[in-house]
Amino acid sequence: MKKPKLRELKEALRSLFSRPFTSFYPFTAHSPADGFRGKPIFYIEDCIGCGACSEVCPSGAIVCSDHLETRTRLLTHDAGRCIFCGKCEEACITDPKGIRLSAEFDLAYLKGGNCQHTISHTLLLCDSCGEVISTTRHLEWVSHRLGPLSFGSGLLLGVRQAANNIPKGIEEAQVKEPYDRIDIFKNLCPKCRRSAFLADEKV
C-alpha cells in the first residue's frame, strides 16, 4: 500500500509546480482545431438558394421561406436552435459549399433576433400559374452543369440568355391557356410546360 501512496504524492507535487493545461480564454484569443464544427455561415458567392440545407436540418435551425410579392426566397439560420451537426454543409450541392461550418464558437447574444442571419435570392415564377419554379441562381447553376445540353430546355435557355443580357426575342407577357407554340420558350413550371407541349402536339 506504500507504493501507490508515493505515486499519488509524486503526481500531486508535479501538478503543483507545473503549468496548467487550460487556455487563457477569454483574455487571449482561442483558435479551434481543424475540423471544429462552429456556426454555419451562408456564402452569397456560392449559395444558389436551392433550400437543400433547410430540408436536412434536424433541429429546424434553417428556414426557407418564399415571398411571392417581392419574388424573393429567404434562407434564415438561427444559431440559437442549431446543434452544429454539419448536415447542412454535407447536403449543399455546390462546390465550394454555399453554407459552411465556421470556426466561430462564441455565440452569446443579448436578443434572440441577433442570433439569426439571412441570405436572399431572386425567385423565378411561372408566367402562367404564378407558382415558384426555383431561384434564378439555382437554374443558372443547373444550366452551367448541363453545358450544351441545357439548350434543349426552353426554360434553361431563357435563364442563360438573361444571365448574359441577351434579349429573348419573344413577347414578355403572362401566359394563359390556350397555349401557343412559342410559350414553351417562356418561364413555365413543369405542369404548365407539359400542358403547353400537349397543346403544341394537337396543333
Sorted by where each begins, the domain ranges of the chain are 36-124, 126-203
C-alpha cell at 41: 455561415
Return the bridge partners of 126, or none: none
User: For residue 115, what pLDDT is reported?
Assistant: 84
Amino acid (1-letter code) at residue 18: S
List pLDDT tens digits, range 72-123: 999 999 998 999 999 999 999 998 999 999 998 888 777 666 788 899 999 9
Q: Are 39 and 107 in contact (CB under 8 A)?
A: yes
Q: Given pLDDT bands bounded at 50, 70 and 90, which one contains residue 19?
A: confident
Angle, vertex CA 156, rays to CA 153 and CA 157, nearest 5: 80
Instruction: Say if domain 36-124 classifies as CATH 3.40.50.150.
Output: no
Angle, vertex CA 52, rays to CA 153 and CA 73, nearest 5: 75
Rounded to whole angstroms, the Cα distance separating 133 from 71 reads 11
